[in-house]
Copies of this chain bind each other. A is one copy, B any other.
Amino acid sequence: MEESHEDQPESTSNNTDVRPKRFRNLSSVNAASEEDLNSIVTHEDDSSLLTSVRSRHKQTIEPGSLNIAKYESLDYDTSENYLLLDEERSKGNQYFIRKDIARWLVFLLIGMFTALIACVIDIAIEELSQIKYKSLSKYVDDNIVEGKLYIPYFFFILYNIVPVFIGSTLVAYVEPIAAGSGIPQVKCYLNGVKVPRVVRIKTLIVKSIGVVCSVVGGLAGGKEGPMIHSGAVVAAGISQGKSTTFKKDFKIFKSFREDHEKRDFVCGGAAAGVSAAFGAPVGGVLFSLEEGSSFWNQSLTWRTFFASVVSTFTLNTVLSAYHGVPGDLSYPGLLNLGKLESISYQIYELPLFMLIGCIGGLLGALWNHVNYKLSVFRIIYLRKRWLRVLEACIVAAMSATIAMLMMFTLNDCKPVGQDPTKYPTQMYCGDGQYNVLASIWFQTPEASVRSLLHDPPNTHNAVSLAVFVIFYFMLSCWTFGLATSNGLFIPSLLTGAAWGRLVSVGLSRVFPSITSMNPGKYALIGAAAQLGGIVRMTISLTVIIMETTGNISFGLPLIVTLIAAKWTGDFFNEGIYDTHIQLSGVPLLPWDPPPMANNIYASEVMSHPVVTLKSVENVGHIVELLKLTTYNGFPVVDPPASDHGEVTTYGKIRGLILRSQLIVILQRKIFNECEQNWDEINYSIFQDEYPRYPTIDEVDITDIEKTYSIDLRPFMNRAPYTVSHSFTLPRMFRLFRALGLRHLPIVNDTNEVIGMVTRKDLARYRLWRHQGRMGIEELPISKDM
């Protein structure tokens, strides 16, 4: 390390340091880190540099340390090598125009297929639920006279457990990533983290069957969240023109086979999913924007919007035909809350909405906390698959039990006619009356939300509502995170709508003179508050609810409610999706760099020593490296003047090459010593293998070949973004987020690679905020799968 004197900027100043002590201190911190750099190879522990703030709070971290072995990053920064440039240059104008047209076509297809899948799921649920609830209603009324309530109870449990068993077995044994709503996973993917198998067709199939099973099985879950995931899978599937699940390559859309393009399509797919689920094309675009975009682009927005609109239109056409009103276009989304055009509000109601928002935030935070504890319990104790299936079945039985108990004990009767359910259940009610609770339970949860929003005043009595809220709150909390495919939108809306209606009942008792206390309005506000308190989405949730209810003028009350819910909830914990992302240890980068991180330098954050390659490198050495390390990117360097070191020697950076590229080169045996047909070596050799490259163990290299060498220069990214070791964490963070980087080589003053920063290095530093105090914490890293 002869250049150590060059590494220190201070040594070159030819004046005495006239700056005050605090500046001198600052530079000495930096100088210290640079001294440290010069002795990197010997002592690797740089923890002495961490400020006390960070180390002090190292112990206060929840479970869910970063799982870096499982989650790799996507490469949004295109590897711009000679092959790519050459290909682009040779194809010319027409190529770009054709690619653009193909892109629009793919977005059209994404919109259509997402909607069609949604239709199939919706119709399946509709038909099966109808059979189930019709017969249950009949069983109840047939057996109630004789007091044999155990018969309907038995069938209820049976009808719940059988589908749930099928669904959760599929999820637990075939494709565990299909569990839950899939929104956290899609969010991770959009943010640049490769969650394994999240956009495979197998996942889509399991998810689709799973969601039908769990909704039909009467779990407190909805089909809307899974729609978003299925849109994402559809997008990834169509745009790549190949399927790993079916081992089929259609040889189309080859130029879209890279992380950057694929992510754009997945963005459109997620939006199309939201659009199909809620009939909310604008909300869909905003969802993709809010959850996904670290970098955004006008043309992508526009294409995403197009996919969303196509999706809601296709769904509308098909569902209208299914419901017997073809061409009527009155079914824009799966969640159909019915038009709420007539409701209006007065200014004095706004504080009331804000209060409801706060309640929603509190309840949401509680819900998240309980669910978090449950999830931790599941991670620790329910590791066996059959335990997960058993748990799902227990919840299914529990749902039936609670429903039956409530119907049985709270004998809430109303005259038939007010009720929108198709099969009114009489139970103990008099003739011409029906049991209100049976009508809530013997429906899909969506239909129940619709009832709560539209039922005329006095349909529900306060006690039934209160009991329902308590049990459904617990049930939905227990359900989210089960090994079944279902979302939490609908159960949250249902809980919220129920207590919102309860609030309006309370208010109209306190202020009987006020006539505008439309219970449906308060049910809507309550639903928004509860959902907002749980998911903490902002503008997209507002727009989704506005679009679902078809009421624009009700925007302000919704926004006020949601802001209050978010702020209240954020005071206690994070949104449920972020909680689950953290629990699974995904190195997701937050929106902003942690605010107090200006004194953390690249030299502290980076991994070192870094494994580098020479521009012309020995094959055996490469094979060894790939086998020994798990790194995904290797800086290509010029060997230093004095060629004494081996792997860790510094060298001037020339480029960056990926593990996947090296493997493809090895597999194709593009060695200097072999005669090559260079016409066949073009960029598509990488596209053919994308996205699942073979492992190094699958590549056969003979011992003779190991003495050969590879010229890496045509393949490496010749201009990787690099930064100096004196960069601060926030500046690196912004670079990562803005450009979607995966590897950021850190160089010293003479452009020699001294370290490497990846997403996980940055994700480790997290803002720690608790009861008004803040600090930076450094997460531990777990390497087990």
A residues neighboring B (CB under 8 Å): 6, 9, 12-15, 17-20, 22-23, 26-27, 80, 82, 84-86, 88-89, 92-93, 96-97, 281-282, 285-286, 289-290, 293, 295-299, 301-302, 305-306, 309, 312-313, 317, 327, 329, 332, 341, 344-347, 538-539, 542-543, 546-547, 550-553, 555-556, 559, 563, 591-592, 595-596, 598-599, 615-616, 638-639, 652, 654, 672, 676, 678-679, 709, 711, 713-714, 718-719, 721-724, 726-728, 730-731, 734-735, 738-739, 747, 749-751, 772-774
What's the nearest-Cβ distance from chain B to residue A280, in Å?
9
What's the nearest-Cβ distance from chain B to residue A366, in Å?
23
- Measured in the bound complex, the distance between the Cα atoms of B731 and A571 in whole Å is 41
**Residue contact B538 to A301, C-beta cutoff 8 Å:** yes
- Measured in the bound complex, the distance between the Cα atoms of B709 and A20 in whole Å is 16
What's the nearest-Cβ distance from chain B to residue A736, in Å?
11
* Chain B residues within 8 Å of A96, by CB: 595-596, 774
* Chain B residues within 8 Å of A313, by CB: 556
**Contacts A298-B591, A347-B329 hold; do A82 and B15 have CB atoms under 8 A apart?**
no
**Contacts A556-B313, A750-B751 hold; do A592 and B739 have CB atoms under 8 A apart?**
no
CB contact between A739 and one of B13, B289, B735 (< 8 Å): that residue: B735
The residue of chain B having its C-beta at the shortest distance from the C-beta of A298 within the complex is B591
**Residue contact B559 to A309, C-beta cutoff 8 Å:** yes
**Contacts A290-B301, A739-B738 hold; do A599 and B85 have CB atoms under 8 A apart?**
yes
**Residue contact A347 to B719, C-beta cutoff 8 Å:** no
**Residue contact A547 to B552, C-beta cutoff 8 Å:** yes
**Residue contact B735 to A305, C-beta cutoff 8 Å:** no
**Residue contact A18 to B293, C-beta cutoff 8 Å:** no
CB contact between A539 and one of B85, B305, B553, B672 (< 8 Å): that residue: B305
Q: Which 7 A-B pairs have the closest CB atoms?
A: A738-B738, A20-B678, A719-B727, A302-B538, A93-B774, A305-B539, A85-B598
**Contacts A538-B305, A728-B80 hold; do A347 and B327 have CB atoms under 8 A apart?**
yes
**Residue contact A296 to B299, C-beta cutoff 8 Å:** no
The residue of chain B having its C-beta at the shortest distance from the C-beta of A297 within the complex is B591
**Residue contact B295 to A738, C-beta cutoff 8 Å:** yes
- Measured in the bound complex, the distance between the Cα atoms of B774 and A739 in whole Å is 27
What's the nearest-Cβ distance from chain B to residue A568, in Å?
15
* Chain B residues within 8 Å of A82, by CB: 23, 26-27
What's the nearest-Cβ distance from chain B to residue A33, in Å?
13
CB contact between A546 and one of B552, B672, B747, B750 (< 8 Å): that residue: B552
- Measured in the bound complex, the distance between the Cα atoms of B93 and A773 in whole Å is 7
- Measured in the bound complex, the distance between the Cα atoms of B308 and A559 in whole Å is 11
The main secondary structure of chain A at its interface with chain B is: mixed
* Chain B residues within 8 Å of A734, by CB: 739
- Measured in the bound complex, the distance between the Cα atoms of B616 and A21 in whole Å is 18
**Contacts A9-B713, A773-B93 hold; do A299 and B592 have CB atoms under 8 A apart?**
yes
CB contact between A615 and one of B12, B327, B546 (< 8 Å): that residue: B12
What's the nearest-Cβ distance from chain B to residue A652, in Å?
6
The residue of chain B having its C-beta at the shortest distance from the C-beta of A727 within the complex is B719
The residue of chain B having its C-beta at the shortest distance from the C-beta of A51 within the complex is B89
**Contacts A23-B714, A552-B550 hold; do A301 and B289 have CB atoms under 8 A apart?**
yes
What's the nearest-Cβ distance from chain B to residue A702, in Å?
20
24 contacts between A and B (CB under 8 A): A6-B652, A13-B713, A15-B672, A19-B714, A20-B678, A22-B678, A27-B82, A88-B595, A89-B599, A92-B596, A93-B596, A93-B774, A289-B301, A301-B539, A306-B563, A313-B556, A329-B344, A329-B553, A546-B552, A551-B552, A652-B750, A719-B726, A719-B727, A747-B751
The residue of chain B having its C-beta at the shortest distance from the C-beta of A12 within the complex is B638
* Chain B residues within 8 Å of A9, by CB: 615, 638, 654, 713
What's the nearest-Cβ distance from chain B to residue A165, in Å?
40
- Measured in the bound complex, the distance between the Cα atoms of B305 and A302 in whole Å is 20
* Chain B residues within 8 Å of A739, by CB: 734-735, 738
* Chain B residues within 8 Å of A285, by CB: 539
* Chain B residues within 8 Å of A599, by CB: 85, 89
- Measured in the bound complex, the distance between the Cα atoms of B364 and A586 in whole Å is 49
The residue of chain B having its C-beta at the shortest distance from the C-beta of A26 within the complex is B82
- Measured in the bound complex, the distance between the Cα atoms of B737 and A295 in whole Å is 10
**Residue contact B615 to A13, C-beta cutoff 8 Å:** yes
Q: A9-B713, A97-B772, A719-B726 are in contact. List 20 more A-B contacts (CB 8 A).
A: A6-B652, A9-B615, A13-B711, A19-B714, A89-B596, A93-B774, A281-B559, A282-B543, A290-B301, A298-B538, A305-B538, A305-B542, A306-B559, A309-B556, A312-B556, A329-B344, A329-B553, A721-B735, A734-B739, A751-B751
CB contact between A728 and one of B306, B719, B773 (< 8 Å): that residue: B719
Q: Which of A309, A552, A556, A592 has the most CB of B within 10 A?
A: A552
CB contact between A305 and one of B26, B341, B559, B747 (< 8 Å): that residue: B559
**Residue contact A14 to B616, C-beta cutoff 8 Å:** yes
- Measured in the bound complex, the distance between the Cα atoms of B306 and A772 in whole Å is 24
- Measured in the bound complex, the distance between the Cα atoms of B627 and A80 in whole Å is 41
- Measured in the bound complex, the distance between the Cα atoms of B82 and A290 in whole Å is 34
**Residue contact A332 to B553, C-beta cutoff 8 Å:** yes
**Contacts A556-B313, A773-B93 hold; do A18 and B305 have CB atoms under 8 A apart?**
no
* Chain B residues within 8 Å of A738, by CB: 295, 738-739
- Measured in the bound complex, the distance between the Cα atoms of B56 and A676 in whole Å is 37
**Residue contact B86 to A23, C-beta cutoff 8 Å:** yes
CB contact between A723 and one of B97, B306, B551, B719 (< 8 Å): that residue: B719
The residue of chain B having its C-beta at the shortest distance from the C-beta of A598 within the complex is B85
What's the nearest-Cβ distance from chain B to residue A607, in Å?
19
- Measured in the bound complex, the distance between the Cα atoms of B695 and A298 in whole Å is 38
**Residue contact A298 to B290, C-beta cutoff 8 Å:** yes
**Contacts A301-B538, A317-B347 hold; do A726 and B735 have CB atoms under 8 A apart?**
no
The residue of chain B having its C-beta at the shortest distance from the C-beta of A675 within the complex is B18
What's the nearest-Cβ distance from chain B to residue A627, in Å?
24
* Chain B residues within 8 Å of A773, by CB: 93
- Measured in the bound complex, the distance between the Cα atoms of B748 and A750 in whole Å is 10
* Chain B residues within 8 Å of A556, by CB: 309, 312-313
**Contacts A80-B731, A96-B774, A299-B591 hold; do A86 and B552 have CB atoms under 8 A apart?**
no
- Measured in the bound complex, the distance between the Cα atoms of B767 and A93 in whole Å is 11
- Measured in the bound complex, the distance between the Cα atoms of B302 and A599 in whole Å is 29
The residue of chain B having its C-beta at the shortest distance from the C-beta of A549 within the complex is B552
CB contact between A346 and one of B23, B88, B327 (< 8 Å): that residue: B327
Q: Which of A18, A295, A301, A749 has the most CB of B within 10 A?
A: A18
* Chain B residues within 8 Å of A555, by CB: 281-282, 309
- Measured in the bound complex, the distance between the Cα atoms of B84 and A6 in whole Å is 26
- Measured in the bound complex, the distance between the Cα atoms of B281 and A329 in whole Å is 26
* Chain B residues within 8 Å of A721, by CB: 723, 731, 735
What's the nearest-Cβ distance from chain B to residue A532, in Å?
12
CB contact between A678 and one of B19, B345, B616, B723 (< 8 Å): that residue: B19
* Chain B residues within 8 Å of A84, by CB: 598
**Residue contact B15 to A709, C-beta cutoff 8 Å:** yes
The residue of chain B having its C-beta at the shortest distance from the C-beta of A636 within the complex is B9
* Chain B residues within 8 Å of A542, by CB: 282, 305
